[in-house]
Amino acid sequence: MADKNLSDDMVKLVSYSIVSIQRDREHVLSSARRVVTDNMDGEGFASWMIAEYLEESGRKRFKDKELQYLRVSYNVEDRWAEQDLKYEEKQLRALDGIERAIRKEKKKAGGKK
């Protein structure tokens, strides 16, 4: 079953296609993948992708009546927990503590000889 849930605070890899369903002109206009970090619903995502597509391709390419036929099909391919903003700093502090502990143990071992 396709995963359509965009309403969480995780990092999501989303594949999507923008399609025109205008009668006798049905076709895929654009397909891509996007990393999404926002918590949103499907309608919000569809509006965002259509607005971005129109901005990139030039809104003048479409007549107003054609816009009503644009649809977005999407699927969440994978999701991951968002990394802490201070992740690298915490890692460096942990490694620094390990290095200090090793040096301390080396001094103890060297002093006993």
Query: What's the pLDDT tens digit per position in 3-62?
Result: 999 999 999 999 999 999 999 989 999 999 999 999 999 999 999 999 999 999 877 778
Q: What is the pTM of this model?
A: 0.70
Tokens encoding 14? 């989303």
d(CA 45, CA 35): 12
pLDDT for 61 equals 79
Parallel, antiparallel, or unpaired for β 27-36 and 11-20? antiparallel
- Give 111's pLDDT tier (boundaries 50, 70, 90): low
Angle at 28 between CA 25 and CA 33, to 5 degrees: 165
Q: What is the mean pLDDT of the chain?
A: 91
Residue 63 has pLDDT above 60, yes or no: yes
Burial label for 16, CB within 10 Å (0-12, 13-18, 19+), is buried
pLDDT at 82: 87
Q: Are the CB atoms for 26 and 19 separated by under 8 Å?
A: yes
Beta strands 70-80 and 27-36 are unpaired
